[in-house]
Amino acid sequence: MSVTNYEAEIDSIRAFGGVGSILMLLVMIPMVGWILGIVGLIFLLIALKKLSDVAKDETIFRNALIAVILGVIAIVIAPLVILSAFFGLFSTAIRSQEPIAITGTSMPGILQTQTTIPPGFFGLLASIAIALTAFWVFLIASSYFLYKSYKSVSLQTGVGLFSTAGLLYLVGSILTIVLVGLVVILVAIVLQAVAFFSLPRSFKKPETPSLNQV
C-alpha cells in the first residue's frame, strides 16, 4: 500500500468512525432515531473493518462483529419474550373468562368487588424478569467483546481514548440494571467519536518497496 493510499484509508476510517458515532448519539430522536442509529452502527463496523485491514489485526473487526451480534440478540430477545408473555396472559384470561384488571375495597359505604389474580399473571412477571436478565447478560457480553476490540485498536493506533471508551461501554452495560449505565454508555459513544477523529494520519508504517525491488 502506497503512502498516499494509506493516508487516504486512515481519513476514510476517521470519517466513517466519527460520523457513525455521531449518528449513534442521535438514536434518541423520535421516529427516525432508530434508523440513524442503525446507519451509525454500520458506519462504525465499516471503520473497524478498514482499521483491522490496515493494522493487519483481524481481532479488531472479529471482536467488534461479535459485539454487534450479541447486542442485536439482546435488543431482540427481550421484547419478544415480554410480548409473548403478554399474549399468553390475555389468551389465557379470555379462555377462562376472568378479568384482567382487578380492584377491590372493604371500606364502608363503597361497593365491594372481588379481588382475583388473572391466570398467567405470575408467569408474566417471571417472563419479564427472565427477559430483562437475558438482555442484561447479552449486553454485558457484547460490551466485553467491544472492549477487547477497542483495546486492540488502542494498542495499534496509540489513541488511548479507544480503550477508555471500550471500558466505559463495559461499565455502562453492567450499570444499566440501575439505569445509570445509560448515561455512561452515552459518554462512551462521545469518547468513541473523539477517538476516531483523533486518529493520526499514520499510526503504523505502511509497506514500501525495498531497494532491491525497485
Other Cβ atoms closer than 10 A to 176: 18
pLDDT tens, position by position, 123-174: 777 778 888 888 899 999 999 999 999 999 999 999 999 999 999 999 999 9
Q: In Å, how far from its chain's centre is CA 202?
A: 29
Q: Provide the H-helix boundaries in 26-177.
A: 33-55, 58-96, 121-157, 160-175
Mean pLDDT over each residue of the chain, to the nearest integer: 83
Domain ranges of the chain: 3-101+117-197
Least trusted range by pLDDT, from 8-22, 90-104, 145-159, 169-183: 90-104
The four Cα atoms 193, 197, 201, 204 give a dihedral, to 10 degrees, of -20
C-alpha grid cell for residue 9?
484509508
What DSSP assignment string belongs to 141-166? HHHHHHHHHHHHHHHHH--HHHHHHH
What is the SS3 assignment for 205?
Answer: coil
Please determine, for residue 193, whether its predicted confidence score (pLDDT) is greater than 90: yes
pLDDT tens, position by position, 48-98: 999 999 999 999 999 999 999 999 998 888 777 777 766 766 666 566 655
Task: Please give the average per-residue pLDDT across 13-26, as a whole number.
Answer: 95
